[in-house]
Structure 1
């Protein structure tokens, strides 16, 4: 049996709360198993929507200050998950949330007006170098980030993908900027995913129960949005049944961003149970042993 304490997982996310939604159960599971878990958040989410009326003044278009508030939310969420190593790319405030707009086809796009120092317009080499330093310091065997579309098209998610993938290459190059640390090659890289079969089954259960509001506009046999991934492209399925409650508790700490009375928190198939399984696409490295469904059950499988 391998020594899990020798393993290190690095996750690169765009804004505070993204880490809980897609990877919170995974993070908590590996903390429990003694794996070193490092979270890098690329922006403070300064452009996010404020869902708490009493805090509406924090909005970017009002007095501002949402980024500092979300910094505190992230700290509290990480306490719940047990993650002690969480950082902002280049330091807090180095890269600004870029904002977004909605395309008529239902995915995010860049907004017409982008704030100064937006992550979306950051120099790729400059941003990647900040992550190279982290990779060479932490020396993870596994890296998790988004796919090339950032899941749903948000410019900061797309940029996080670009920065993570480029930094992984640069960090491994023996001749690249040795002042950033000793070269390190990451063995396995995964992109987060949402299972198509799981989504269709959940939608079917929701609609049969009479729930027409959760994931409104999406139907069990209809066209699904780009953040849904065909199962044949998915490599790993992490069982978070033992840690999903911590995931939801951590997500609730991002109180300006989520509605705790909404679908995310409603329980049963539309809530906690639905969020207990987290899926990933292996895009670099060799897959390890799989279960009966053909999924790795451990991101460190084969290492």
Structure 2
């Protein structure tokens, strides 16, 4: 079978953090890997002081810079087919704020008080989905990966990416729908990217034992945020341990967004491949294939 994988992410860098090892592994195995990024990441926080002028409230050119960062990251991961939903600049990063205490989603991301008219959060769902329908019918993937309904941690663009990907996956398979967008195609399996709660919990505890109290500061391993999924709800684990170095290098390529002294690298330095070498997924559509001793699929194409 000619295997094809489509991933739908919100901003440049999201793909590497959540699914970088999986992308590198499948690309190295000759699988057709297509990344669709929904926004340019215009509203991202800039961690490089000398590039502060790129910010939305100054030059507003961060998206162009992050476009280069994404190009470089994909070269490292070996992914040659990566594109922006509707073309670069079609949908703008919506921004976010952290929900205050007392809010129903306290501690999670929520929409900003004001958003640009071009923000992805404000996009018409059908119009945005149609852009992805065209990609699905062109690429004809057997497997789609995106976020859960909460976008992992509540970011409006992650939630919108979930909505667009879910709707587009349905529309793409309808025999009578928008044939100008290509021949209908039904995606066999849809997954939501996830982080293993048990691995994150153990990682944080080992960081604390090693004396690191700054990484994931304030995070209680016994009360993890929504992006951590309890293991009973996980469906697949892709072993990307051979590609951890590529994932870390790709994360470094996203220098405006990911600090090398931040929690991601602290986890990697202290417990190595155990956290970042395995990437987990929840199944949202399709039947699970062969399971390993851990009760999880080891291949997103299992059973196809």
Q: Same fold (TM over 0.5)?
A: yes
Q: Paired residue for 1:146?
A: 147
Structure 2, unpaired ranges of 5+: 101-105
CA distance in 1 between counterparts of 2:5 and 2:92 reads 25
Q: Paired residue for 1:240?
A: 240
**Matched positions, count:** 298
After superposition, residues 58-207 of structure 1 pair within 5 angstroms as 58-104=54-100, 105-207=106-208
Q: CA deviation at 1:261?
A: 2.3
32, 35, 38: which one aligns with 1:39: 35
Question: In the alignment, does 2:13 pair up with 1:17?
Answer: yes
Bigger Cα displacement from structure 2, 152-161 vs 290-299: 290-299
CA distance in 2 between counterparts of 1:124 and 1:271 reads 40
CA distance in 1 between counterparts of 2:262 and 2:197 reads 22
CA distance in 1 between counterparts of 2:142 and 2:97 reads 35
Does the aligned pair in 2 maintain the 1:252–1:258 contact within 8 Å? yes
CA distance in 2 between counterparts of 1:184 and 1:259 reads 40
After superposition, residues 202-241 of structure 1 pair within 5 angstroms as 202-220=203-221, 222-241=222-241
Q: TM-score, normalised by structure 1?
A: 0.96
Does the aligned pair in 1 maintain the 2:133–2:172 contact within 8 Å? yes
Q: CA deviation at 1:270?
A: 5.1
Bigger Cα displacement from structure 2, 192-201 vs 151-160: 192-201
CA RMSD between the two structures = 1.1
Q: CA deviation at 1:116?
A: 2.2
- SS of 1:160 mapped into structure 2: helix
- SS of 2:36 mapped into structure 1: strand
- SS of 1:242 mapped into structure 2: helix
Q: CA deviation at 1:39?
A: 0.1
Q: Paired residue for 2:103?
A: none
Structure 1, unpaired ranges of 5+: none
Q: CA deviation at 1:263?
A: 2.7
Q: CA deviation at 1:225?
A: 0.5
Question: In the alignment, does 2:26 pair up with 1:30?
Answer: yes
User: Deviation above 6 Å: which 4+ runs of structure 1?
Assistant: none
